[in-house]
Amino acid sequence: MYQFLKNLSTNQQIAALFVTVFGCLAVASLVLFLLRLRLDHRNDHDSVYAVRHRADLNNAEGVLNTSWLMTGVFWLAWMAGTGVAVVLFGLVSFFCLREFISISPTRRADHRSLILVFFIMLPLQYVLVAYERFDLFSVLIPVYVFLAIPVASVLANDPHGFLERNAKLQWGIMVCVYGMSHVPALLLLKFPKYNHKGAFLIFFLVLVVQMAMLTQHLVSRKLRLRPSLPSISQSFNWRSWWIGVVVGSSIGGLLAGITPFVPGQAFAMACVACVAGSLGHLVMKALKRDRGVPIWREENGSVRLAAITGAGGLLYRVDALCFAAPIFFHSVRWYFDLPR
């Protein structure tokens, strides 16, 4: 089996990967459908068990739908080539940033800075990815935009809440644009003897981070652990976090075959990505709490925001990836001393 896969061309290997993933998703959707059918046939519609079970199913369906969407996007990106992949991730960035800005109130004076961020810096960052200008790509936002935003803001002649307003914008662009743009950048990393297989690297990153998040979520739900940081998250617990990171990293180690890493390196890189992703997700939760938004989409009390965002809380689904991607990208480049 392994020999057979190894002898396939890169494209065939990637195709096989997509077939496998779509297959798994189809099975998961079928199982979920059957579970829902069984629940609907029970007679105790309002019992505590049924209500809790239904909530679990809804939750699982949300995760599954995101997975379908993400896999679909990746598949399209791979089919259409690197250029289209960059555009697709650019659009995801755009929608995330739109969501981020919608929940952070801006003032009239921020208008020019917002135009700068959305219509100049965001496209520019992705153009730099497409043209593989990694030197400028890594510093454009932390160095140049870091100054450009407050300058655009100060020219609007409004000192009210100046630091806070600019900090919000800078956070938004760091997470939604800088972080997200490192995902397609993985496509273009050049490892010796590992050409045009960047798609595997993206798959590796997304899978380990999502698995760590999922495990963490399921463990804390099943064991009903007490939240470690109750003011920030009702579900975060150090024990479930730890288990999630170990599971994610182990899956990474097992997937070493599709990456340029040996198993030990794959485990370590996956670990870095999982820690960064899960803690980043926690940081975003704190940000939401600060804005008075309890939870982006899932539970009651947030109906209003879910309704306003419309997009259905895209940022909530991808924020872990936004934090994991740049750290993963730069760790890999630094460790393997890759050429620019």
Partner 1 sequence: MLANIFSTLLLGLIRLLTGAQARWYGCPPKAEQRIYFANHQSNADLVMIWAALPSELRSVTRAAAAKDYWTKTPLRQWITTKVFNVVYVVRDRSEAADPLIPLVQALESGDSIIIFPEGMRGQQQDPLPFKSGLYNLAVKFPQVVLIPTWIHNIQRVMPKGEYVPVPVLCSVTFGAPIQLEDGEDRRAFLDRARLAVMALRDV
| Residues in touch with partner 1 (CB under 8 A) | 94, 97-99, 101-102, 106, 108, 111, 114-115, 118-119, 304, 307-311
Q: Which is nearer to partner 1, 271 or 306 (CB)?
A: 306
Angstrom CA distances, 196 to 166, 192, 261, stand at 39, 11, 15
What is the C-alpha to C-alpha distance for residues 35 and 196, in angstroms, rounded to an integer? 41
Angle at 318 between CA 57 and CA 306, to 5 degrees: 60
Minimum distance from residue 124 beta carbon to partner 1 (Å): 16
Minimum distance from residue 134 beta carbon to partner 1 (Å): 28
**For residue 288, which amino acid is it?**
K
Q: Which is nearer to partner 1, 224 or 304 (CB)?
A: 304
* 3-state secondary structure (DSSP) of residue 191: strand
H-state helical runs in the chain = 2-7, 10-41, 48-80, 82-103, 111-115, 122-130, 134-139, 146-154, 162-173, 180-185, 198-222, 238-254, 263-290, 303-309, 314-336
Q: Which is nearer to partner 1, 268 or 311 (CB)?
A: 311
Q: Which is nearer to partner 1, 236 or 316 (CB)?
A: 316
What is the C-alpha to C-alpha distance for residues 334 and 30, in angstroms, rounded to an integer? 43
Q: Which is nearer to partner 1, 25 or 69 (CB)?
A: 69
What is the C-alpha to C-alpha distance for residues 291 and 9, in angstroms, rounded to an integer? 50
Minimum distance from residue 281 beta carbon to partner 1 (Å): 21
Q: Which is nearer to partner 1, 218 or 314 (CB)?
A: 314
Minimum distance from residue 40 beta carbon to partner 1 (Å): 25
Minimum distance from residue 297 beta carbon to partner 1 (Å): 13
Structure tokens at 200: 């595997």
Minimum distance from residue 305 beta carbon to partner 1 (Å): 9
**For residue 88, which amino acid is it?**
L
Minimum distance from residue 307 beta carbon to partner 1 (Å): 6
Q: Which is nearer to partner 1, 19 or 91 (CB)?
A: 91
Structure tokens at 95: 């929608």
Name the DSSP class of 230: T
